[in-house]
Amino acid sequence: MEIKKQADLIRPAWEERITELLGKMTLDEKIGQLHQVGPSPVGGFAVSLEEHRQMLADGRITQEEFDAFCSGTARDTQEQDVREGHIGSFLGVSGAEACDHLQHIAVEESRLGIPLLFGLDVIHGQHTIFPIPLAESCAWDEALWEKSAAIAAAEAAADGIAWTFAPMVDIARDARWGRIAEGAGEDSYLGARCAAARVRGFQGEDPSAPDRVLSCAKHFIAYGAACGGRDYNNADLSEQTLREVYLPPFSAALAAGAATVMPSFNDVNGVPSSVNTFLLRQILREELGFSGFTVSDANAIAECVIHGAAADRRDAAKQALAAGMDMDMYSGCYRDELKALIEAGQITTAQLDEAVRRVLRIKFAKGLFDHPYTRHRLTAAELAAHRAAARDAACASAVLLKNDGVLPLLLKTPVLLVGKLADCAGEMLGTWNIYGRAEETVSIKAALEEEGVLAGYLPCCGPDMPLDRDELTQAIRSETNTVIAVVGELADHSGEASSLCDIDLPGEQNEMLTALRQAGKTVITVLCNGRPMAIPNAVERSNALLELWHAGSEAGHAAADLLFGRAMPAGRLTATFPYRSGECPLYYDHPNTGRPLSPGRFSSKYLDAPLEPLFPFGSGLTYTTFAYDDLQCTADRQGIHAAVTVKNTGERAAKETVQLYIRDLVASRVRPVLQLAGFRQILLAPGQTERVCLTVEPERLAFYDTRMRRVIEPGDFLIQAGQSSADGLQQTVTVSADLAADYLRQI
């Protein structure tokens, strides 16, 4: 299949120059292009000495790597390696000066002058930190996703970075998995739209522009299906599920031009992705037409030995290259083993050249051969605009989950603030923020002080702070009746290696909420966290509950904007909140059973949890109400067309996200009970009505049958239009055999 944006990465002029270069390169220089180094053995982030010792003990790093770490980062050696053409890319070096320094050596002092590629995890901002990606997905706003990625790109580019290891496009259906924070939630349709928008934001129309960076769709594939939500765990799933649920965001990212792809750490159906020929060659290259290069996850090639999938590092290098893994992130397996493998005839020069060609192609696409040095400079005005955008994004990402009428607060309402997180600016930055600074981040306490409404602040307790009963007593005795309680989890309790088996509020935060409520306080809870949480107690004890997430540099300002009604909450959940941790994985688009969820005894449910989730996919409130009416659906050869009338029945203008779902009622393979198939955001003044028309493209009606054929089966489809996956008007339409036949002819 040819995807236009991927085909654009192959330009005859570049390919000629690459052929010429390949003709001149020594074996060592070729291998160098595939070798990425970082300032620490596991990449660009801080790792403690204890962790290094552990990694040495369990074989993730070698004795030499450990020694190199203990003796500093051996800058001189790396400079010499750059000079000799033995390094193709750096991970985690940032700052225009540092990058340009190394680049000068590569371009001016190495034999062939091939530029380096500087990569970094710019996940939700470089200096201006945006809400974590899961939060931002709740905005359901493609323009916003594109803009925040473009801002992150501009700030990273000004720091000498040419390539970000983002977007993370893994579908995550299990809230215990810490990395759910980094993606767009549980739905593959929304995930695909978000993935494409983020790639457009990072790369722009042309990634060689000075203020853009190359993107990397990761982690290919089904990393989010890690068994039990435990990070790095294996994923065992049908090929149908792999293709229907986990693949669409990657296809969308590639169609938007993603220049690189990072295979996942884990094994998928028994084969680690790093050496998985089926995934990296058949699906990624042959079927999706990917023309860029793949980069392993940190140390992942070497870890194939620990997996038990390779006999030793040489075997791992051989398998990875053969499978289509082009660049080795840090493990050193390629640097150390490829030469011997070539000399022994175990891999061919053609295989090596193919990988080198792809890496060089992307260096050309980034324009590095013409402009190797940092060109983008940020102005003060630009930085101020970035902060304003981060504030808007934080407002748009927050989800109002409960409100008994207490919100919005009147501007002069004095409030008592409790919860340690209220004063933890750094925690607001969330996972994967390398350069965000706590001192440049607005805490909720600081924002309420600015607002002039703070009657007092008592931390009382936090995720990592036990309940201080004296402070709680003071809070209860305070004359101020309205309490804002900031609760949640620490930034590093979600993200990589941060899986949890209990996703209720950690520590004694529930006890604090209970005591305040029992004392008769009006409790407005602000939740700062990186994943869906099982928090029925917190919901019950709160008069209002605002899911702010780890909202980034402007978290505090956004909270104040929303609590005081200057901004209207508009976020809608992109991942289901369970009542209890044991319900995970819990997601709305599950297949039906023969005994569907019902109060009856022999139905598919848990005895000790309510039937419905705590908060369903797509849900969220605002300070007005909407009514849906007159759903009309028709089907023709172009798809299903739905029209519904939406009215703002409240007193404030607000944004509504109209959501359209489908269900294939009878099919040869059991289909999900619902699937998101379209959405549209509209802004309605009080009393205003709008007729919203949405079309479900044939592609969304298709699935893989038991023989792995992509088909649409004619027959009845249920259509649901409304405010969330758990609410809406419904109608049934019939999809004709003509539509199904047209579809088959096209694919």
Residue 120 pairs in a beta bridge with 164
Quick one: how many helices (H) and strands (E) in the chain?
25, 25
Provide the minimum distance between the beta carbon of 299 and ligand BGC in the complex, in angstroms, as a whole number: 8
Q: Write out the two tokens for 124.
A: 């939700």
Q: Give the count of alpha carbons within 13 A of 615, CB side only.
A: 27
CA-to-CA distance for 119 and 97, rounded, in angstroms? 15
The minimum distance between CB 72 and ligand BGC, in angstroms, equals 20
| Contacts by 688-691, CB closer than 8 A, 24 or more apart | 688/647, 688/648, 689/645, 689/646, 689/647, 689/648, 690/645, 690/646, 690/647, 691/643, 691/644, 691/645, 691/646
Closest CB to ligand BGC among residues 40, 413: 40
Q: Which is nearer to ligand BGC, 44 or 639 (CB)?
A: 44
Q: How far from the centroid of its chain's Cα atoms is residue 267's Cα? A: 20
Q: Catalytic residue at 312?
A: no
Beta bridge partners, 225, equal none
> Is 36 or 103 the residue whose CB approaches ligand BGC more closely?
36
How far, in Å, CA of 482 to CA of 414, rounded? Answer: 7
Between 274 and 576, whose beta carbon lies closer to ligand BGC?
Answer: 274
Nearer to ligand BGC, 30 or 307 (CB): 307
Q: Which residue has the tokens 């009147």?
A: 410
CB of 167 or CB of 678, closer to ligand BGC = 167
- Terminal CA-CA length for the chain: 10
- Residue in the block written with tokens 């380096």: 116
Binding site for ligand BGC (CB under 6 A): 43-44, 91, 121, 165, 218, 297-298, 496
Shortest distance (Å) from residue 399 CB to ligand BGC: 25
Q: Which residue is nearest to ligand BGC (CB)?
A: 165
> Distances in Å between the alpha carbon of 366 and those of 197, 206, 324, 353, 360?
19, 8, 21, 20, 10
Phi-psi region of 507 (alpha: psi -120 to 50; beta: other; left: phi over 0): left
Nearer to ligand BGC, 36 or 529 (CB): 36
- Per-residue CA distances from 738 to 430, 637, 715 (Å): 50, 7, 11
Which CB sits closer to ligand BGC, 130 or 220?
A: 220
Q: Which of 297, 315, 328, 336 is catalytic?
A: 297
Supply the DSSP symbol for 221.
Answer: T
- Quote the least distance from Cβ 165 to ligand BGC, whole Å: 3
Contact 165, 136 (CB under 8 A): no
Asked, as a colleague might, if the bond just before 86 is cis with ω within 30 of 0, I would say: no
CA separation, residue 412 to residues 393, 446, 448, 510 (Å): 25, 16, 11, 28
Choose between 140 and 290: whose C-beta lies nearer to ligand BGC: 290
Query: Residue 601's CB: how many other CB atoms inside 10 A?
Result: 8
β-bridge mates for residue 294, sequence order: 261
Distance CA(21)–CA(115), nearest Å, equals 13
**Three-state SS sequence of 6-58:** HHCCCCHHHHHHHHHHHHHCCHHHHHHHCEEECCECCECCCCCHHHHHHHHHC
Residues identified as active-site: 297
